Amino acid sequence: MRKIFLLLGLFSAIFNSACSTESSREELIRNGDFSKIIPLTDTLLGWSMDKGIGNVSKSEEGMRMQKEFRVLQRMDVAHEVSERYLLNARFKVESGSMTLFIQAFLPETVKRESYWTLLSKSFGPSKEWNNISIELQIPPEKILDLIQVAFSSDSPDTLAYASYISLRPLPPSKTAQNKIFISSADRRVECKSIYVSSPQDDYGNIAAKFLQKHLYNMTGELLPVSCLSEKQPENFEGSILIGKAAIDSNKISNEELKDVGPGGFFVKNKDLVLSIAGKDAPGLVSGISAFLKSIGVKFLSSKEIEYPKIETLPLASVAFKRTPAFAFRSGGGNLNSDFLINSFIASPRKIGGRSGTIHTNGFLVNFDKYHKEHPEYFALQKDGNRLSHKPGDSDDFVHLCMSNPKVQALASENLIKWIELEPQAKYFSIGQGDGYHYRCVCKDCKAMDVEEGNYTDRVLAFVNKVSEKAAEKYPDKIFFMFLYEGSDKMPVKVNPAPHVRMTYCPFRPKWWCHSHAFCKHNSQGMAEISAWFKNFSGQLYVFDYPSGAQEALSIFGSFYAMVEKIRFYSANGVTGLTLCGTPRQFNALFVNVISQLLWYPGIDVEQAIDNFMREYYGPAAPFMREYFDLLYKQFDERQIHQNCEIFNYGVISDDFKNKAYRVFAAAENASKDNPKLLRRVKGEKLFLLYNDLNENNPFTNVNDLNLKDFANNLREFAQIAAEEEIFYVDKNHQNITEWFWRKAGLKLNAKGKWYDEPAIKELIANPLAALKEKKNILQKKIKNGWELPASAFSGGEPARNGSYIVIRRPALLKSIVSADLFLDEAPSNEMELTVTGQEERNCGIEVFVNGKSVYQKSPQVKFYEHPGTRKIAIPKNILKKGKNTFSIKNITSELSVPDRGKALDSCEYQPNPYWGWLIVDNIKITE
């Protein structure tokens, strides 16, 4: 790697890290000359395929990219000090065209995708190589998580090569404002350097950068990071010693770390030397984070860090050690390192594989690499064939023939190679493939099971075997697997090896309710996990679901359930917790308090909430607390049981929302003089507005909808969503523009920034008029009349390709669709309305023209006559000149088909979408 840099002569001095001259860590891109491949998969190290199609390989000329490809690399930059990066790239397009994208990602926020594009440049065919060198500037107020570099084909005939690419942080521009001092009771000295033990000390280097960055942000002083192995100071006074450096120089003794447990740390400032050591790598980063907090840094949310304003920064005499209840903490909000930072959990995708951090069997024995010569390595399917897999499919669904000794040996060998590729990671998943029905049914694999349907012995025996050698060679690594879908049953013969952790997933149907820990709807799951606790306490992790997956802005009330579960897990010996996302509403509060609980499950949670609210909302804190309590009261008093996988309705009641809006008015008033606090208050109100608008809008069967209130709420929602730059509202990436069309009938372009569009500007200026006077001309002229296609209807639920619209039962809140027809003059005759589509018979339907009912049917009566059309007469004098509105309303009562919903879906507490629906392809209005 260094040779290339010298050859191209691109770089001179990079800023002051003594360690950087010998290691390549200042170069962020891995395998920038495309010379290395991943031995496990034979694909290019560091470069992963985002789209499964296309063809990317190593060639004489570097990386060869063909057909429809998108190949990318993501780099953790959460610990980089820099706001400027230098990109160098050398590539050539032989045919077609290719775009080079550089994108910067923020930590997980409300937005589904929170990134912005630093560079997007398209290149057509040329005989010459392109050599580009560009400085990329990151806005200083942004807190970055990742930078992504991607090459993407613009057409299927593209053939391109890249021979070199690099990305380097440039020295930060701020100049020192304040010096950093280390002080004792009677003396203070200027702080000179942060020391790590050696360039190979990956853990130490990550931790040192983390500290360097925050000290720089606080003071403008960029302390150099030096290596003890290269430069021993004469005197340690004024030094900060990190990790192994603190131990090697005897500033922290092994004896002092003896009573610190996994994930814990020791921070000590003695004799004007600040030393921070961890029991392990994550513990070291936590130690630095705890130290920063002890000097006044506030990690408020994934987007907001507040630094103390002080003239000089005295690093005072301290000494404290801590051990977390949960050494393994994963799942978002990782900025303050209360959750483990990304680098500590191995991820094939980060080094160029196709698996994430969970289902890694297909990375350990790669399908693309082995299936031709050794189909027997992969699971025998029920149809008698070995597993098949479309080229480019995610490796997450690869199932191995776990009983095959050659598979075990290969996976074991490959696990060691994987550890060598991600030396900084501590936790490695040996997770079985997703989709249990692909499991191997060969005789030998079945023989590993003790009983039909219980796969735990099989999976556990495999994981033990595969990790055996790696655990000998790397005793500090932890290997984990997942207890779910058949491997959640108690093993009979096999026990987990000491270095193996088993991750239990409290998922439906056994765990139905995520609003209450000890809910009756979780009783089956509780019994199951209790049995695990009894037998395997100490080797269990949990993968829990405190966030609603369907809708980003929907209120998901998992806070107290999570508090109780964390205490319950901890009391039963669980030491690892992964959160499948964190709830979006009260997100900063959730991350803050839950992080504290993962260290100390016994803390006073109510006190912790109050403390956080005081910091975060200032004078509005009492009102925000009142709203928080009011919200959680709903879950208890009204017995609302939410589940992470479904659309959760019903939080909004008239009583709740009236009180909630009143409390918010007080909170806004209390914070009106402080824009930062007001924005936080309104950022929370966004969720209340979203839920209210979702449940009460012109397309739900609300009898007494006050259109003026709706319009005003919609305006406020638009204003806050614009400020928060929200573009997506649900899991399927529904654009917010689509949401405005479905819930309010406002047609937006979905191109560019939605809040700059005229319809939104009109809504802000005059909300009621904007809704009443909207003019969506989407009709088509046909012979003897007009057609309104599915795309002309707002409300309801559209087909993915837009070719039809689904009208669901009122309980599912998508029960009304409507479309407008504009006429130059009122027709003089009776007209005919023809509706085309399909139905599930048990729906009740009513059709309206300009608010007048023209047709009604009850369930069990067919709506569509053969061949899928229904003709309805429109009496004279209903249609008029100008705007005419056609509405179709699903009026099916939940009780009209007793027990139907329960029978069709195992989740009995959810309105089942699979019955009582009507589909409309189009309507025609003819003479």
What is the C-alpha separation between 247 and 241, in angstroms, rounded? 9
Please say which residue, 190 or 636, places its beta carbon nearer to Zn ion.
636
Spatial CA neighbour of 694 closest among 814, 574, 560: 814
Residue 440: CB minimum distance to Zn ion, A: 3
Query: Least distance from C-beta 364 to Zn ion, angstroms?
Result: 15
Contact present, 537 and 572 (Cβ < 8 Å): yes
Rg of the chain over Cα atoms, rounded to whole angstroms, equals 30
Q: How far is the CB of 439 from Zn ion (least distance, A)?
A: 9
Rounded CA gap, 101 and 85, in Å? 14
Count CA atoms within 13 Å of residue 90 on its CB side.
Answer: 13
User: Which residue, 214 or 399, has its beta carbon nearer to Zn ion?
Assistant: 399
- Based on the number of CB atoms within 10 Å of its own CB, is 140 exposed (0-12), middle (13-18) or buried (19 or more)? exposed
CB of 464 to Zn ion, least distance (A): 17
Residue closer to Zn ion by CB (options 633, 881) is: 633
Residue closer to Zn ion (CB basis): 236 or 647: 647
Q: Which residues bind Zn ion (CB under 5 A)?
A: 401, 403, 440, 442, 445, 513, 515-516, 519, 641
Compute the distance between CA of residue 877 and CA of residue 889 in angstroms, rounded to an integer.
Answer: 22
CB of 547 to Zn ion, least distance (A): 16
Beta carbon nearer to Zn ion, 437 or 775: 437
CB of 915 to Zn ion, least distance (A): 25
The region that residue 160 occupies, defined by phi over 0 for left and psi between -120 and 50 for alpha, beta otherwise, is beta
> Is 415 in contact with 408 (CB distance < 8 Å)?
no
Quote the strand ranges of 51-145, DSSP E: 55-59, 62-66, 70-76, 84-95, 98-105, 115-123, 130-137
Alpha-carbon separation of residue 108 from 12, 38, 341, 347, 556 (angstroms):
35, 29, 13, 18, 17
Q: What single string gives the DSSP state of each residue in 660-676?
A: HHHHHHHHHHHTTT-HH
- Shortest distance, CB of residue 659 to Zn ion, whole angstroms? 22
Q: Which two tokens stand for residue 147?
A: 């930078």
- Identify which of residues 402 and 678 has a Cβ nearer to Zn ion in the complex: 402
Tell the smallest beta-carbon distance from residue 411 to Zn ion (Å). Answer: 13
Residue 560 or 864 with smaller CB distance to Zn ion: 560
d(CA 173, CA 880): 67
- Reading the block at residue 702, the tokens are 């609300």
- According to DSSP, the residues that pair with 98 across neighbouring strands are 123, 153
What 3-state class would DSSP assign to 770?
helix
CB of 641 or CB of 685, closer to Zn ion: 641
Measured between its terminal Cα atoms, the distance across the chain in Å is 76
Least Å distance, CB 444 to Zn ion, is 6
Residue 646 main-chain phi, psi, to 5 deg: -115, 170
* Residue 777, CA atoms < 13 Å, CB-side half-sphere: 5
Cis peptide before 509 (omega within 30 of 0): yes
Helix (H) or strand (E) holding 617: helix 605-617
- Our CB check for Zn ion shows the closer of 401 and 760 to be 401
Cβ of residue 441: shortest distance to Zn ion, in angstroms?
Answer: 7
Q: By C-beta, is 387 or 513 nearer to Zn ion?
A: 513
Q: Which is nearer to Zn ion, 107 or 375 (CB)?
A: 375
Burial class (CB in 10 A: 0-12, 13-18, 19+), 352: buried
Q: Of 268 and 521, which has the nearer Cβ to Zn ion? A: 521
From residue 504, give the alpha-carbon distance in Å to each of 334, 351, 431, 483: 22, 27, 12, 5
Query: Shortest Cβ distance from residue 569 to Zn ion (Å)?
Result: 18
Pick the closer one to Zn ion by CB: 193 or 522: 522
CA atoms within 13 A on the CB side of 97: 7
- For the CA atoms of 510, 514, 515, 521, what is the dihedral angle to 10 degrees? -10
> Please, what is the minimum distance in Å from the beta carbon of residue 471 to Zn ion?
24
What are the residue ranges of helices labelled H in 227-280? 244-248, 254-257
Give dist(CA 119, CA 115) in Å, integer. 12
Amino acid in position 32: G
Minimum separation from the CB atom of position 431 to Zn ion (A) = 18
* Closest distance of CB 445 from Zn ion, Å: 3
Q: What length is written for the chain?
A: 927
Comparing CB distances to Zn ion, the nearer of 119 and 549 is 549
For 514, phi then psi, to 5°, come to -105, 10
821: left (phi over 0), alpha (psi -120 to 50) or beta: beta
Residue 331 CB, nearest approach to Zn ion (Å)? 22
Residue identified by tokens 């395929």 is 49
Instruction: For Zn ion, give the closer residue by CB, 288 or 448.
Output: 448
Cis peptide before 867 (omega within 30 of 0): yes
Name the residue nearer to Zn ion (CB basis): 440 or 918. 440
Closest CA relative to residue 740, chosen from 692, 696, 795: 795
Instruction: Please report how close the Cβ of residue 635 comes to Zn ion at its closest, in angstroms.
Output: 8
